Amino acid sequence: MRVAVCQLNAREDRSANLAMARDLLTRAADAGADLAVLPEYTDYLGPASGAPKPEPVDGEYGTFFADVARELGIWVHAGSFHETGPDADHIYNTSLVFNRSGELAAAYRKIHLYDVEIPGKVSFHESRTVAPGDTPVVVDIDGVPLGLSICYDLRFPELYRRLADDGAAKLLVVPAAFMAHTGRDHWEILLRARAIENQCYVLAAGQIGNHEPARTCFGRSMIIDPWGTVLAQAPDTTTIAVADLDLDRLETIRLELPSLANRRI
Ligand SMILES: O=C(O)CCC(=O)C(=O)O
């Protein structure tokens, strides 16, 4: 299976963001990818005051990526978008996955919300405008189980253990808009830890660069194997990173170093 992670800089112009995403997905398909992954909030990353009107899963955002998946004939993980929430003040931060025919294969609502106060560095209160999801999701991609998560979820290993355990996930996906301040020290180490401890491939697609009013995203989108080795990493620009996943290698690692089987629960 060949996979691609797409790295982009979404801003306030939703049509421009979608056009950029389509361009990267096309590049991924041209490179022979079976599955391509977009970052968190591919629809819009800008001031809360200009945020797009939230939509249902089958709204414009979903329809756009369903069409792209069908046209390109690849699996598309459409990052995340502003989904209609449970009340007027809250949306859901939701990922959608489309199969090669453009059918919706899965939807996942971000469970862990980024409520952080690091004086002078990060002040973020996601739960003021976003309601948490409550359901871990694993989706079958051409016979390979893919576990879903979004950005801050990365800090909660119990979610990934559940995806790998109950869901039998072999791939874990992390669409993100990871802050540069925390990303510098935590992004790669957390991604590689999730890969090693769950003996899974990890596909991490991040936003890159500045977004109004005051957010800088770390980028460094990467694909990691179950041994924790980085197979591909995007440079600091709008681009894709591509890697071939070897499921036999995953089984060999699980057989030779059976840490999942050696657990004492
Ligand atoms: O966990 C972090 O440091 C960043 C998380 C984040 O930016 C997000 O969830 O939007």
Q: Is 218 in the pocket of ligand 1 (CB under 6 A)?
A: no
**Quick check: is 265 in a domain?**
no
Q: What is the pLDDT of residue 214?
A: 87
pTM above 0.95, yes or no: yes
Identify which of 182, 189, 207, 215 to mutate to test ligand 1's pocket (most ligand atoms within 8 A of the CB).
182
What type of residue is 11? R
Determine what percent of the chain is predicted with pLDDT higher than 90.
95
Protein residue with least CA distance to atom 1, ligand 1: 152
**Quick check: is 264 in a domain?**
no
**Quick check: is 206 in a domain?**
yes
Query: What's the whole-number mean pLDDT along residues 101-121?
Result: 96
The single residue listed with the structure tokens 């791939």 is: 171
Q: What is the pLDDT of residue 83?
A: 98
Protein residue with least CA distance to atom 5, ligand 1: 152
Tokens of 131: 């309601």
Considering its fold, how many domains does the chain have in total? Answer: 1
* Collapsed DSSP state (helix, strand, coil) of residue 117: strand
The boundaries of the domain holding residue 13 are 2-256
**Quick check: is 263 in a domain?**
no
Tens-place pLDDT, residues 199-209: 999 999 999 99
Is it the case that residue 2 has pLDDT exceeding 90? Answer: yes
**Quick check: is 208 in a domain?**
yes
Is it the case that residue 152 has pLDDT exceeding 90? Answer: yes
Tens-place pLDDT, residues 43-88: 999 998 899 999 999 999 999 999 999 999 999 999 999 999 999 9
Which CATH number goes with the domain that contains 83? 3.60.110.10
Tokens of 134: 């409550």
Is 261 exposed, middle or buried (CB count within 10 Å of its CB: 0-12, 13-18, 19+)? exposed
